[in-house]
Amino acid sequence: MLSSILLDERFRRRRNNIRAARLGQGYGGRDFGRVGGQARRRQGFVGLADRGNRGGRAPEEAAKDWVASKEKARFCWPCAGTGGKFSDVKILPRPEVILTHESDLDGLVAGLLLQRLAKHLFDAEVPLEAFHYNNWRLREPREKSGWVCDLSFEARLDKPNWVVIDHHATEMQPAHALLIHDLGKSAGLLCYELCQEQGLGSPELDRLVHLSNVADLFLEEDPDFVAANDYANLVKTYQFWNLHALIGGRLERLLNHPLLEVVAVKRRIEDPMGLEWSKSNIQEISPTVGYVDTVVGNTNLIVHQLLEKQATKYPVLMTLFRKANNTVVVSLRSRNGEALKVAEKLQGGGHANACGATLPRSVKNIPNAIEYLRCLLDASPKKEAPLNSLEGLFAGLEIKG
């Protein structure tokens, strides 16, 4: 039970929001008051509910009666970033931009769902931007408002009129932004729940979001685990923006996409071959980190099986991927949370046991990446070596413990 003092304070804030809407101060859309919403829906805030006010009662009285009937529901006030929840009411600012994670299916699903939600609420085509972790750290939130999904909440995002929807671990407590956060759900599922509250759900999206959630959280016991990883591998194989272009930004078009047949064949034929080959091709980066060379197969599943079967002495395993623009991406896996610590040393991030980073542009190929990572991660004493062709690569490198 919430204390009467806390309720009164929250109702006071809600009342002020409604008054601001009537005065045209940046709040609008549907709320407890009977205020016309079309003009304000194009600017400011939209409350995602119109409950409790039947018969023209005062908005404050309607709100109190409605919440009293919902006391057992999850209740968070959407100011100072406490989650944007007023029972099942949410108040979201109109975003100037939507920012998401470029590296996986969860980021694609979450970003496109938020675009759909913004279109529904504000009748606006909000631009979508996607980032790998290293580029994300360089992207300043310069807009007055924005929605961020599948990217960790951090101090620079703690701004008024910003919303972060994420499931990665964070120690930050928001003071200004709205944070919708759940470690047990993927970002795509959290975004889909917002969409469902606006009637934007469908059987097709139910299925796709479920598969994305299973793959992103690596729910091995789920009966759809294999199929979910095939869907996730679409983004790994064909890349975020290529896939975005193929489906025209419509998530439903991913279901039963012809490319899944290619992924399934590769899984059946390539994965067993790749696993056997990779077992014999693991190189030491540091005493705790091993580099797994792969030639065929789903690298994430191969690495997972190596860790699961304890086929290597290293608690952290990494794979390397060279993109078309010559940047090298590191993927890290572990079973006891060690992977994230390594990713943070590389200015990356992610989950405790599944994370990654993009290496500096000076690292042009896989052999250079291996030498770079050994220099950065292996703290064991070494004999002084003469300068070689990698001198420029490591010039000015700050090694962090």
Question: Per CATH, is 98-251 categorized as 3.90.1640?
Answer: yes
392 burial via Cβ count (<10 Å: 0-12, 13-18, 19+): exposed
pLDDT of residue 58: 54
If one counts every other C-beta atom within 10 angstroms of the C-beta of residue 129, the result is 15
**Selection from 84, 340, 109, 347 nearest residue 207 by Cα:** 109
Interatomic CA distance for residues 39 and 20, integer angstroms? 14
Domain ranges of the chain: 4-74, 98-251, 280-394
pLDDT of residue 290: 95
Please identify every stretch of the chain with a pLDDT value under 50, giving residue numbers as ranges: 1-12, 14-54, 63-64, 66-89, 385, 387, 391-393, 395-396, 398-401
pLDDT of residue 213: 96
Does the global pTM surpass 0.75? no
DSSP at 247:
H
CB 213 within 8 A of CB 192: no
List the structure tokens of 85.
Answer: 């929840």
If one counts every other C-beta atom within 10 angstroms of the C-beta of residue 72, the result is 8
Long-range contacts of 303-312 (CB under 8 A, 24+ apart): 303/331, 303/333, 304/218, 304/333, 305/275, 306/275, 306/278, 306/279, 306/282, 307/333, 307/334, 307/335, 308/335, 311/279, 312/279, 312/282
List the structure tokens of 131.
Answer: 């980032």
pLDDT of residue 305: 87
Name the CATH code of domain 280-394 (choices 1.10.8, 3.30.479, 3.10.20, 3.10.310).
Answer: 3.10.310
pLDDT of residue 261: 95
What confidence tens digit (pLDDT) does each residue in 249-258 have? 999 999 999 9
Q: Residue 269: what residue type?
A: I
- Residue ranges of alpha helices (H) inside 123-258 are 133-138, 187-197, 203-216, 225-238, 240-247
What confidence tens digit (pLDDT) does each residue in 290-342 have? 999 998 888 888 998 899 888 999 999 999 988 777 789 899 999 888 998 99
Interatomic CA distance for residues 164 and 49, integer angstroms? 20
